[in-house]
């Protein structure tokens, strides 16, 4: 890491690794992995895990593997595998040649199971799923031993071999670890290791009729890859004894499992099952809908990898669950874009303005600053002419006290252009104002008055004859309630019906005419926007990435005050 970087705030996982390095526990190695199940697209919660695993490895000069946990072929798809790789790379991380699949180890997992049978630690069980549930007991009651628990090693080896050979119907038998049906930890009550399932696997095809369970596959995969610190979310804390049991019984190299609190974010859901529901039921346009908390959605919306990484660093790593306010993520996006995004002029709800004393047919080019935060980004020319558009919101015929923008008889500044004064309005049949008549002061070119005359507002604008018509999509939270699932109801009931507003007759400055999808900029006074892939030749479509209003600062201030 570059020496100029600020020291990172420490957290318990970093401390564990630091200690393990000092005591030489793993031969001064740090080797982590990110183990997604390819049954959905990655979301911002996964980004936290990615940043943690890849970040810690980089920090300690170690390695991080990408491993697909593809043990359940019934829900997994190649589309997901591809999207996950794209998203991890986009976030800025590199697994180099270390791309693995749990399915790479199916053979090894089978052999280990045979080993456990041989030492009397695994058996073939004929209980059905329902029966097994019944035998399992509850949190307060011990389980009962399966009637098949004391089969001989020979019989178990024989039956397990036949399971593998496809001799039995799906679900008719399982291979279970022989641990302790009376254990206080339900995970230790003879958990299933292999199940029979006729499903075509995206990598191994139809060669397997039995598939390993996550708990069994995960620890052995970690061990095979020489992982040192196996970082996972808190719900696996109760599975750790099982992780340790398998590796101890098999006398395999033993990584350490460490659990941390998963990320929960306000106003959205971070569960693949729920996200899939949103996609499948058409509540969003797809996994990359800009309202989705998926990495693909955020990318399309104009969020940057730097901002997401920064967010993940800022939220820290804890042992207790909490909900992070979406406002913090938006703050991180804004902070990054403020430094990088070129400024542009765009009017999303246009009101026509005619400058009566400006010569008809004349155009002039005015200088506009590309980014006040970064002088190196220079300036550009923007055209000015007699007919302009300003924002409808920037005019009030009957202005209330605190409204300082344009009103009849009032003078305001047009950014980088001139002072204008409203001299009249034009109405349609319904009596609505559809056009403003104004005059300009030629002496205020560039937006400064030579006589020190003050105006209280500066408006953005575009030249009607030069502007490019565009579609602009404004986004709000996908869910209207900050803490979902608080009630007993269906999470879909919390969907925000106003999460998208599409404005079809917007006008943007001509430099944006052929901007490419992904291009991000700030529309002055309106927010950060980026070009969407739905754009067509000469007609760009913009997504609002984030508004300019910093709600996070307010939340923080509220806490302190």
By annotation, the residues acting in catalysis are: 37, 262, 272
Instruction: Give the length of the chain.
Output: 561
* Binds ligand ATP (CB under 6 A): choice among 112, 132, 270, 388: 270
263 binds ligand ATP (CB under 6 A): yes
- Record the tokens describing residue 277, joined without a space: 């529901």
**What 8-state DSSP symbol labels residue 173?**
-
Q: Does position 45 bind ligand ATP by CB under 6 A? A: yes
Number of residues that bind ligand ATP (CB under 6 A): 14
**CA atoms of 467 and 523, how far apart (whole Å):** 14
Closer Cβ to ligand ATP, 327 or 390, answer by number: 327
In the complex, minimum distance from the CB of residue 509 to ligand ATP, in angstroms, rounded to a whole number? 40
CA-CA-CA-CA torsion sign (195, 198, 200, 204): positive
Question: In whole angstroms, how close is the CB of 13 to ligand ATP at the nearest point?
Answer: 12
* 152 SS3 class: coil
Q: Which is nearer to ligand ATP, 71 or 522 (CB)?
A: 71
Structure tokens at 90: 């986009």
Site for ligand ATP contains 277 (CB under 6 A): no
Return the bridge partners of 255, or none.
none
Phi and psi, residue 246, nearest 5° = -55, -50
Residue 292 binding ligand ATP, by CB under 6 A = no
By CB under 6 A, which span of 263-271, 296-304, 472-480, 525-533 interacts with ligand ATP?
A: 263-271
H or E stretch at 388: strand 387-391
User: According to CB under 6 A, which residues from 197 to 236 bind ligand ATP?
Assistant: 232-233
Considering the rule CB under 6 A, would residue 467 count as an interface residue with ligand ATP? no
Select from 20, 31, 36, 60 the one that contacts ligand ATP (CB under 6 A). Answer: 36
Distance separating alpha carbons of residues 444 and 460, to the nearest angstrom: 16
Q: Is 73 in the site for ligand ATP (CB under 6 A)?
A: no
In the set 29, 75, 254, 262, which binds ligand ATP (CB under 6 A)?
262
Among 271, 277, 338, 458, binds ligand ATP (CB under 6 A): 271
d(CA 382, CA 391): 17
Whole-number CA gyration radius for the chain = 31
- Residue with the closest Cβ to ligand ATP? 45
Residue 557: CB atoms within 10 Å: 9
- Under DSSP, the state recorded for 106 is H
Nearest residue (CB) to ligand ATP, 78 versus 426: 78
Measured distance CA(98)–CA(84) in Å, rounded: 15
Identify which of residues 260 and 395 has a Cβ nearer to ligand ATP in the complex.
260
* Binding site residues, ligand ATP, CB under 6 A: 35-37, 45-46, 48-49, 232-233, 262-263, 270-272
């Amino acid at each position: 890491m570059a020496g100029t970087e600020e020291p990172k705030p420490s957290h318990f996982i970093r401390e564990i690794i630091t200690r393990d390095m000092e005591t030489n526990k793993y031969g001064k190695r740090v080797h982590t992995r990110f183990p997604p199940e390819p049954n959905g697209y990655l979301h911002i919660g996964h980004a936290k895990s990615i940043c943690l695993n890849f970040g810690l490895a980089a920090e300690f000069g170690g390695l991080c593997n990408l491993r697909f946990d593809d043990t359940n072929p019934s829900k997994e798809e190649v589309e997901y595998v591809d999207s996950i790789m794209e998203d991890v790379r986009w976030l800025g991380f590199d697994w180099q040649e270390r791309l693995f699949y749990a399915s790479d180890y199916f053979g090894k997992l089978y052999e280990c199971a045979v080993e456990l049978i041989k030492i009397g630690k695994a058996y073939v069980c004929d209980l059905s799923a329902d029966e097994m549930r019944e035998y399992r007991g509850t949190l307060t009651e011990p389980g009962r031993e399966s009637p098949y628990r004391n089969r001989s090693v020979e019989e178990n080896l024989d039956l397990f071999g036949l399971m593998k050979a496809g001799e039995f119907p799906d679900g008719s038998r399982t291979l279970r670890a022989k641990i302790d049906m009376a254990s206080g930890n339900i995970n230790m009550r003879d958990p299933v290791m292999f199940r029979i399932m006729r499903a075509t696997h995206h990598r191994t095809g139809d060669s397997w009729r039995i598939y390993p369970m996550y708990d069994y596959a995960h620890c052995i995969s970690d061990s095979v890859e020489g992982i040192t610190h196996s970082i996972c979310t808190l719900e696996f804390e109760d599975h750790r004894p099982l992780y340790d049991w398998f590796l101890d019984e098999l006398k395999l190299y033993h990584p350490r499992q460490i659990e941390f609190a998963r990320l929960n974010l306000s106003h959205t859901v971070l569960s693949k099952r729920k996200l899939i529901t949103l996609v499948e039921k058409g509540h969003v346009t797809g996994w990359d809908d800009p309202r989705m908390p998926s990495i693909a959605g955020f990318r399309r919306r104009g969020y940057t990898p730097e901002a997401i990484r920064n967010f993940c660093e800022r939220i820290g790593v804890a042992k207790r669950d909490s909900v992070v306010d979406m406002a913090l993520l938006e703050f991180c996006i804004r902070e990054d874009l403020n430094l990088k995004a070129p400024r542009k002029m765009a009017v999303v709800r246009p009101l026509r303005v005619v400058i009566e004393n400006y010569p008809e047919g004349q155009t002039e080019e005015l200088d506009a600053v590309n980014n006040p935060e970064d002088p190196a980004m220079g300036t550009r020319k923007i055209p000015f002419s007699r007919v302009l558009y300003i924002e409808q919101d920037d005019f009030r015929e009957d202005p209330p006290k605190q409204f300082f923008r344009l009103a009849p008889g009032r003078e305001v500044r047009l950014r980088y252009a001139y002072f204008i004064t409203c001299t009249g309005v034009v109405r349609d049949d319904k009596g609505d104002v559809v056009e403003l008549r104004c005059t300009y002061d030629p002496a205020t070119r560039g937006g400064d008055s030579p006589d020190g005359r003050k105006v209280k507002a500066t408006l953005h604008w575009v030249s009607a004859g030069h502007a490019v018509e565009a579609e602009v999509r404004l986004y709000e939270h996908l869910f209207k309630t900050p803490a979902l699932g608080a009630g007993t109801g269906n999470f879909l009931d919390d969907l925000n019906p106003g999460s998208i507003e599409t404005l079809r007759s917007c006008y943007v400055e001509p430099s944006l005419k052929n901007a490419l999808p992904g291009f991000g900029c700030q529309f002055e006074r309106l927010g950060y926007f980026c070009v969407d892939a739905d754009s067509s030749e000469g007609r760009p479509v913009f997504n609002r990435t984030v508004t300019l209003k910093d709600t996070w600062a307010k939340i923080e201030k509220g806490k302190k005050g």
